[in-house]
Amino acid sequence: MGRLKRLKKIRIHREGTHTLAGSLVLILAVNTALYFGLECKVPFYVVAVISLIVYGILVNFFRCPIRLFGQETEKVVVAPADGKIVVIEETEEPEYFKDRRLQVSIFMNIFNVHINWFPVNGIVKYFKYHKGNFAAAYLPKSSTENERTSIVIETGDGQEILMRQIAGAMARRIVSYAPVGEISRQDKHAGFIKFGSRVDLFLPLGTQIEVRLGQKTVGSQTIIGRFSKTNQK
């Protein structure tokens, strides 16, 4: 019963409908041709099994779980994506803030949900798309050299954070739903990245970080950090 309830909270993301429909048509066409075109059915059975596995991976990739952040949201930063924490460090943010920030990065492999959620409640103050390379997203240089989008959100108490969507070696499309002026909520989708990627957060110095390197995150659920009263803005 519990598993059934969880399944009812999962749907297919709109970014995957065309891909899944096209893949299904192709798979059916190939398998039908093999079934009726070959006397020996062994190749058909092999291809059919491989087709089911590949299509299952695609369906899993484009799944869209319905999540609500049920805790106190004030001064809280939640994970913008499913994945694993690969960076926690103080660094220079050269694009928007041009000063020192706390960087927390989440790497998403191909089996993770690839929806991105807004990490804080507020309003989008800045958005920019950057063309770039498609190096492995776990590499540090991907934050400044890969195809990416930068989204700055200002909270109700004036804190600003930067969320950066980064395409990886397999990712070839970043989708963002965060134009300037968009109201952000922690259970609202900020975008989608196809096939392996990374999300960076740049937080004010003094933010209390509540995750550790290597920790797995759940988008819109895992608390990344909390703003303190002494945070720089």
Query: Which sequence positions are flagged as catalytic?
Result: 197
What is the crossing angle of helices 42-61 and 17-37, to 10°?
170
Q: Taking the CB of residue 165, how many other CB atoms lie within 10 A of it? A: 27
User: For residues 71 and 69, what is the distance between their CA atoms, to the nearest angstrom?
Assistant: 6
- Nearby residues of 80 by Cβ (< 8 Å), 6 or more positions away: 106, 116, 117, 118, 119, 163, 190, 199, 201, 219, 220
Structure-block tokens of residue 2: 């519990």
Rounded distance between C-alpha atoms, residue 122 and residue 181, angstroms: 10
Residues 6+ apart with CB under 8 A from 107: 83, 84, 86, 137, 138, 198
Q: Which structure tokens are listed for 9?
A: 């909270």
**Which amino acid is present at 128?**
K
